[in-house]
Amino acid sequence: MGNHKHKTSNVPDDIFTDHVLVNSEASPLNSRSPQRRSGNLRLLSEPKVSEEGLAPSISGHSAAPSKTSSEAAFTLRGRPVRAWLTSLGINLVPCSAPWWAPWANLYHPPDCIPFEEILSACARERSSTLPCAAHQQHLIIYTFKRSRRKQCVWKPCRLVLKCKSAELVQEWAMRINMVIRTETQRPTNLLVIINPFGGARKARNIWRKKAEPVFLLAGIKSTVVETQRADHAKEIVTGLSLSELQSFDGFIAVGGDGLFQEILNGLLAIRGNGGQAGQVAAHLRLGHIPAGSTDAVAYSLNGCRCQATAALHIALGDRTPLDVMRVDMSSGAHRYAVCVASYGYMGDLMRTSERLRFLGPARYGLAGAWTLLRGAAYDAEVSYLPAPGTASTAASKECRAACSVCSPTVPSRDVGQEAAFMSSSRKSLTEDGWVQRQGRYKSIMAVVTSCRSDMSSKGLSPHGHLCDGRLHLVLVHASSRLQYLRFLASIPREGVQAGKFPFVEMIDCAAVHLTPVGAQSCWNVDGELLPDTEVTMKVHRGLADVFARGIE
C-alpha cells in the first residue's frame, strides 16, 4: 500500500481557480438583481452587522479572538474589502463599489464563505516585483463555488485576500483551520482504491489531478492502492486488520460502479462477520470518485459525474445513508448493490459489451444497438412483495439534499439491522403478501436509487430515493422493436415513467423474486454479470453510509 501524506504548503493547487468578483446574480449593489443565489455566497446572519460594521467572535471557541483581530481590511483582486470572522464563517463587504456597478450588474464580491465550505486556509508571502515595495501577505482560502448552470456541480476555487501584515494572515489562517478541525464529520484518513482498468483507463490520472489535490488541501491522509485484478478491491478491504480498520474514516473507489460495488461488498462482509471489526466497519463511509464507464453511483449521489465535486463532498465530510439491495442467487451466493439489477435487454447488453471492453465506454452504444436488433424477449415468473405504506409521497418528490422522504429515518447500526442484512433475501419468500406474475418480458429491472447516468440524467427511476427502503420494479412486456426503441429513447429525457407506455409497468416493492422459464438472459447487477439467473432481491434501508449529501 502506498501511503501519501502531504503538507498544505507543498500542495499543487492548480485546479483551484481564483474566486472572481463577477456574479451577475443577487448583487447587493445592484437593486435590479433578483434575490436568487447561485453560489455558496450569502451573508451569514450571525452576527448582525451594526452601524460600525463588525461584531465578530468565534463563539464558544476556546481561543476566542479579540474584537480587533476578528476584523480586518484586505484587498481582494485589487479592491479593498472588510472581512470579519463569525462563528459560522467569513463575511466580506466591499469598502467601495466601482462606478459602473449599478449599471453593469457584474460586480459582486463574495459576501460570505461558511466554514463548512472551506477546505483549509494558508498564509503565504509574495515578494513584490518592485524592489522598494513591501512584500504582500496572502491569506489563501480554499473553497468551492457552485456552477451557475447546475448548482450541484462544484468547482474548487480559492479566495486570495491580501494585506501587509504577516502576523494577521497567519493568525487568520490558523484560526480558520482551527475551526475546521473541530468539525468531526470530516475524514482525516482514507483508503483510496483505484481501478486503472475501468472506463477509459484514466482512473490513475483522475486521482492525481482531480481528487488528490483536494484531499491534500483538506489535510486528509490517503493510503492509495491499485487493483491488480477483478475482485481485488474486495480482497483488499476484507484483508484489513482491526487496527487498520480503526485508523480509516472510509474507503474511496476511484473507478466505476463495479469497483464501488466490490468495496461495498467487502465492507458488508466485515460487518456481517460481527465482532469488533464489524462494529468499526459499521461506521465507515464509502465514497465514489467517478472514473468508470457509467458511474451511476456518483451521479445518483451528487447529481453529476464531476470528479472534483465528488472529491469535495468527501473532503468536507458529507454523510448520508444509502439503500442497499441484497441479491441472493439459487446457488447460495449473494451480492450487494446500490443502483440497479436488470434482466433481459440490459443483461444481454452487458454480456455483449464485456466482449467489447477494448473499445472503452463506446462499447455500450454498439452492444445496445446489437441487442436491440436481436429483439429477444424472455419468459419468466416474477414475484414481488409490495412496499409497505403508500408510494404517493416518495413518488411525487425528486430526491434532493435534505430530502424529506429520506431524512426522517437515519437507521441505527444496531445488532438487529446487522443481522437482517446478513440473512438471505430468500427467507422473505415465506412472508405473506407476495404477488405473482408470469409473462414474456423484454426487460425486468429492480432499481434501488434514482440510478442517474449520462444516459439518463434524471435517472432510470426519476422518483427513486437514496434512502426510502423501496425497490422500483420495472416490467417491460414483450413488444415490437420499434415500441421498445421508443421506450429506450424516452429514458434519457425522463427516465421510466409509470403509465407512459402500455407495455411498461412500474411497481414499488420491498423484495423481488425471478424464476426464468425456458430460454434465459442474464442478470446485470450494477454493471457486473451474475453467474445465476434465479434470484431474490431485497432492499435494506440506509444500510451503508456514503460521503454525499444528495443532489443540491
Ligand X SMILES: Nc1ncnc2c1ncn2[C@@H]1O[C@H](COP(=O)(O)OP(=O)(O)OP(=O)(O)O)[C@@H](O)[C@H]1O
Residues that bind ligand X (CB under 6 A): 195-199, 227-232, 255-259, 262, 292-295, 527-528
According to DSSP, the β-strands at 112-114 and 535-546 are: unpaired
Give the burial class of 77: count Cβ atoms within 10 A of its Cβ; 0-12 exposed, 13-18 middle, 19 or more buried.
middle
CA-CA distances (angstroms) from residue 54 to 64, 86, 139? 15, 10, 20
Cell 451511476 sits on residue? 296
Query: Is 118:132 a contact under the CB 8 Å cutoff?
Result: no
CB proximity list for 14: less than 8 A, separation 6 or greater? 213
Instruction: Tell me the C-alpha distance between 50 and 46, whole Å.
Output: 11
Q: 361 preceded by cis ω (within 30°)? A: no
Cβ at position 306, least distance to ligand X in Å: 15
The amino acid that residue 475 corresponds to is: L
Q: How far is the CB of 208 from ligand X (least distance, A)?
A: 17
Cell of 314: 468527501
CB-nearer residue toward ligand X: 231 or 494: 231
Residue of this chain nearest to ligand X (CB atom)? 256
Q: Which is nearer to ligand X, 291 or 509 (CB)?
A: 291
Task: Write down the residue that cell numbers 469488533 correspond to.
Answer: 276
Estimate the crossing angle of helix 481-494 against helix 363-374, to 10 degrees.
140
Give the shortest CB-291-to-ligand X separation in angstroms.
7
**Strands 189-194, 250-255: parallel, antiparallel or unpaired by DSSP?**
parallel
Q: How far is the CB of 528 from ligand X (least distance, A)?
A: 5
Nearer to ligand X, 259 or 548 (CB): 259
275 Cβ contact partners less than 8 Å away, ≥ 6 residues apart: none
Cβ closer to ligand X: 216 or 289? 289
Closer CB to ligand X, residue 255 or residue 278?
Answer: 255
CA 345/CA 351 separation, integer angstroms: 10
Nearer Cβ to ligand X (121/341)? 341
Kindly tell me which of 272 and 360 has the beta carbon lying closer to ligand X: 360
548 close to 302: Cβ distance less than 8 angstroms: yes
Q: Percentage helix, strand, coil, to 5, in the chain? A: 30, 30, 40
Contacts of 478 (CB under 8 A, 6+ apart): 377, 439, 440, 441, 442, 503
**Nearer residue to ligand X within complex by CB, 40 or 265:** 265
Cβ at position 346, least distance to ligand X in Å: 12
Shortest Å distance, C-beta 353 to ligand X: 9
Please tell me what DSSP assigns to residue 81. Answer: E
Instruction: Read off the amino acid at residue 462.
Output: P
For residues 121 and 254, which CB has a smaller minimum distance to ligand X in the complex? Answer: 254
Nearer CB in complex with ligand X: 76/254: 254
Measured between alpha carbons, how far is 527 from 513 in angstroms, rounded to an integer? 19
Three-class secondary structure of residue 219 per DSSP: coil
Nearer to ligand X, 256 or 368 (CB): 256
Q: Which residue has the cell 485589487?
A: 78
